[in-house]
Amino acid sequence: MNIINPKKNIDSVISLIKNAKKRVVIVSPFNDLLGWNELKAAINSANEHLEVSYYVREGEGRNGIDGINATVYEVPLLHAKMFFSESEGIISSGNLTNHPDINWFCYLNDEEYKDIVGFFERYIKPGAKQL
Amino acid sequence: MKILDPKDNIDSLVSMVRNAKEFVVFVSPYSYLKGWESLKEAINEAYDRGIKFSYYVRKGEGSKGLEGLSVCLFEVEKLHAKMFFNERVAVISSFHLMNNQDINWAFEIDDSDEYEGLTDFFKTYIEPEAIMYDLHQFKF
């Protein structure tokens, strides 16, 4: 794993999305993307040619992700955060909220990538309901 | 770095505290430890063994949820990162130390380079912003 310079946290997520060839999974329980126009554009652009799935906490719906084109799912009690494509993964302590909070983002190696995708498949996906 | 089975998340922190020889740092912006008696006991036993135990919360949280713990408490403005380490191993997580049913992952770090990367983050972005909490309001 590699802790990312906090100045590049969102750039790293944008890069992951732009590099994706098959799918993008965004797991962010709470969201406020206002002002992150490059991230929003990257998500919408990706959604035109591959599967983009966006998981939020039950009850959040589309709060803070207005104008985002992705398949949105709600998950009860979701508090985990992760972002992955078919080949890259990032975990973070932060939701995708454009606030000046102190958070670390961490780029995963191959084994860690498998671990986090496995966690997603086991603990998050089964409880998800599409909006 | 290795992901933990969620049912072992708190046990891993208990082990980390019990195995500490010099210090423990907990960074949990929000906390609610009620019901986690083994963790609370491990923290207080560490204090009794002379381990320096520093606990960082978000500014405004103070000792909420930490009643009865023997730690040095610090507040940090806009803190939202979570991490836990002693002088040798670390755990990073998506969870605050809150005894609830939320879905969260945790990874254990024992690789020295990864440990250093995490503690460097702490020293650069968290420790310099920390202000010791008013001890008069905190029951040791």
Q: Quick check: B121 pLDDT over 80? A: yes
- Kindly identify which residue of chain A lies nearest to residue B76, measuring between CA atoms: A102
Predicted local distance difference test score (pLDDT) of residue B19:
98
Predicted local distance difference test score (pLDDT) of residue B110:
86
Domains along the sequence of chain B with CATH:
2-137 (3.30.870.10)
Pairing of strands B97-98, B31-32: parallel
Q: Domain holding A55: CATH number?
A: 3.30.870.10
Predicted local distance difference test score (pLDDT) of residue A79:
98
Q: Quick check: B136 pLDDT over 50? A: no
Q: Is A106's Cβ below 8 Å from some Cβ in B?
A: yes
Instruction: Tell me the nearest-neighbour CA distance from A128 into chain B, angstroms.
Output: 12
Q: How many domains does chain A have?
A: 1
Predicted local distance difference test score (pLDDT) of residue B135:
55
Q: What percent of chain A has pLDDT over 70?
A: 100
Burial track B56-90 (b if 16+ CB lie within 10 A, e otherwise) = bbbbebebebbeebbbbbbbbeebbbbbbbbeebb
- Kindly identify which residue of chain B lies nearest to residue A110, measuring between CA atoms: B1
Q: How far apart are CA A83 and CA A17, in angstroms?
A: 9
In this prediction the ipTM stands at 0.96
Enter the pTM of the model: 0.95
Chain segment B20-63, per-residue pLDDT in tens: 999 999 999 999 999 999 999 999 999 899 999 999 999 999 99
Q: How far apart are CA A81 and CA A99, in angstroms?
A: 16
Report which DSSP code applies to B73: E
Residues spanned by the domain of A85? 2-130
**The token pair that represents A78 in the structure block:** 């979701």
